[in-house]
Amino acid sequence: MDIILIIFGLIAGYAAIPIILRLFRAFALFTIIEECEAQVFTLFGKVIGTLDEAGLAFPLFKFGPGAFLIPFFGKKYSVNTAMRQHYLRNQMVNSEEGTPMGVGIWYEMQVNNPVDYLFINTNPEGSLQANVASSTISALSNLEMETMLENRHSLSRNVRETVSPLSEKWGYRLGSVYIRKVAFTDKAMVENITEKVVKRLVQVTSAMKQDGENRVGLIKSETAFKVSQQMAEAATKRPEIVGQTLNAIRCQDPELLETVLDVMETEKLLESGAEVDILPQNATCLIQVGDSGGGASSGNRPPVIPGS
């Protein structure tokens, strides 16, 4: 019987604990605060305090006996204090030239005063987005297109400096602000600019190709000029060198010189394609036998070279 009572008591206690905890929490005897969270407590329409330290908290110890009245005459507000990011797309601005541009701006915000965040502005996030958008438009409107496309860092700082004082009044601080995108919105203009860029790239490519060909041609002409100059100098030097060599041979061995000259003459005759008759070296005469009509003319005979 005792065992049954113990088991029944354990089951009843296990079932009663969640109910008791819910009752304690409903009567604000304790509360659990999550990470990056703040809880604001009001009583009779007035703020009595804020709890922002993560973990288990006891409003009774923080606010006194008045904490027992919060469930009946007050209210608890939970505020997310984590860093949040937002991105506003296609904020329309006009450049100095009158070109419509779409601007995308990214920014961060974090609640640092939960009371002001709740009760100063009924829609603080919407107001922040409106202020960021209006500040971006005022900072970028009527600027040169080149400035809008190249100076986004300084323009982002200008937007942040404009919006930060207002955000602090509404209970949150503005983090990083950055203009991420500046783009054309008119499709016809985009196509026109793309066509111009492509044509310009073709012109630049053609100019580079022509310049390369001109440089190669110049190098070739300079090289050919130098080669022809060297060949001409070599041609002018050749007779002198040949003459000096022949003179040296004549001084050393005149017969060798005669032989060299004969060989050179024979080579020239062979290169000319003429008919040549070679006679033995011991031949003393050349008898020409003609037909019965008389001897052949000596002009019709090929030259005769004594042979060895």
pLDDT digits (tens, 9 = 90+) for 116-173: 888 888 888 888 888 888 888 888 888 777 777 778 788 888 888 888 887 888 888 8
Q: How confident is the model at residue 56 (pLDDT cuts 50, 70, 90)?
A: confident
Q: How confident is the model at residue 238 (pLDDT cuts 50, 70, 90)?
A: confident
What is the C-alpha to C-alpha distance for residues 15 and 226, in angstroms, rounded to an integer? 108
> What are residue 126's DSSP bridge partners?
none
Query: Are 25 and 33 contacting, i.e. CB atoms less than 8 angstroms apart?
Result: no
Q: Write the single-letter amino acid at 173.
A: R
Q: What is the CA radius of gyration of the chain?
A: 55
Residue 279 has pLDDT above 70, yes or no: no
- Report the 10 Å Cβ neighbour count for 161: 13
Maximum CA pair distance of the chain?
173
* Residue 292 backbone phi and psi in degrees, to 5: -65, -20
Q: What is the CATH number of domain 84-185?
A: 3.30.479.30
Query: Are 95 and 143 contacting, i.e. CB atoms less than 8 angstroms apart?
Result: yes
Question: Degrees (nearest 5) of the Cα angle 60, 63, 65?
Answer: 60
> What are residue 181's DSSP bridge partners?
104
Nearest alpha carbon to residue 138 among 160, 159, 164: 159
Structure tokens of 233? 């100098």
pLDDT higher for 210 or 65? 210
Residue 250 has pLDDT above 60, yes or no: yes
pLDDT of residue 295: 44
pLDDT higher for 300 or 214? 214
Instruction: Give the tens place of pLDDT for each residue, 38-53.
Output: 888 888 888 888 888 8
Q: Which helix (H) or strand (E) holds 172?
A: strand 172-184
**Sheet strands side by side (includes 100-111):** 84-94, 100-111, 172-184
What is the C-alpha to C-alpha distance for residues 24 and 18, in angstroms, rounded to an integer? 10
Residue 293 has pLDDT above 50, yes or no: no
Residue 273 has pLDDT above 80, yes or no: no
Residue 288 has pLDDT above 70, yes or no: no
- Write down the H helix ranges in 141-186: 145-150, 152-169
Percent with pLDDT over 90 in the chain: 0
Structure tokens of 218? 């110049």
Residue ranges of the domains in the chain?
2-79, 84-185, 196-232
Q: Compute the average pLDDT of residues 299-305.
A: 49
Q: Compute the average pLDDT of residues 264-286.
A: 67
- What residue has token string 């779409």? 102
Residue 302 has pLDDT above 70, yes or no: no
What is the C-alpha to C-alpha distance for residues 239 and 115, in angstroms, rounded to an integer? 111
* Residue 172 backbone phi and psi in degrees, to 5: -140, 160
Residue 193 has pLDDT above 60, yes or no: yes
Summary mean pLDDT of the chain: 78
Residue 216 has pLDDT above 60, yes or no: yes
Instruction: Give the tens place of pLDDT for each residue, 70-104.
Output: 888 888 888 888 888 888 888 888 777 777 778 88
pTM of the predicted model as reported, rounded to 2 decimal places = 0.50
What is the C-alpha to C-alpha distance for residues 280 and 298, in angstroms, rounded to an integer? 20
